[in-house]
Structure 1
Amino acid sequence: MNEEVEFDFDEILKEFRNGKKLTCKGGLLAPLIKQLTEATLEAEVESHIANDVLGGKPNRYNGFNTKYFLYSISL
């Protein structure tokens, strides 16, 4: 996420005063919430990479189980 979008508080306030909702889908705060969520997830991934991968920890898994698939083929 290298693209930064400026959140225009004055424009949001103007639209809010004109009756547009803040928190509904497509609301005034939706772009800010989206930007905050993406930045948080990006920071979490970067932290994981920095701590685990670059710290020398190998990939880990919870165990080994045989996988079974149920399927049917009709011709």
Structure 2
Amino acid sequence: MTNENEFDFGAFKQAAIKSLYEGKPLTCENGLFAPLLKHFLKSALEGGMDGQLAQTRLPEQNRRNGKTTKQVKSSAGPLELQTPRDRTGSYQPQIVPKRQIFLTPQLEQKVLSL
């Protein structure tokens, strides 16, 4: 059984192939890559938090403390991301920094090229 928060690559692949045959665009608003972009950003944010917590000198004083939801605008349309928080408030996400609401075209190209 899969967690509802996990990305199902098999289902994504099936939907992408079907959508390509139907002529749906790849990268514009609501394009094929929107779910993949959202999954990548979510994974990158979680990985950044994991990395920071692993480097903490006193791990018992800093740990995960929920998530903050924010809307980010991209060429794939609006995406709702959940940015992890830590107890000390020291986590500064690098991929989508605090208060950033637009994804740059350069970032989107890097993600899609991966």
Shift of 1:41: 1.0
Q: Considering fraction of residues, name the structure with more helix.
A: 1
Q: 1 CA distance for matches of 2:49 and 2:58? A: 12
Q: Percent identity?
A: 33
Inter-CA distance 31–49: structure 2 relative to 1 (3 Å threshold): same
Which among 16, 24, 29 is matched to residue 25 of structure 1?
A: 29
Q: Which runs of 4+ in 1 moved over 2 A?
A: 52-55
Q: Considering fraction of residues, name the structure with more strand.
A: 2
Partner of 1:41: 45
Larger RCO (CA under 8 A, 6+ residues apart): 2
TM-score by length of 1: 0.61
Q: How many residues align?
A: 56
* Aligned-pair Cα RMSD in Å: 2.3
TM-score by length of 2: 0.42
Give unmatched runs, 5+ long, in structure 2: 60-87, 89-114
Give unmatched runs, 5+ long, in structure 1: 60-75
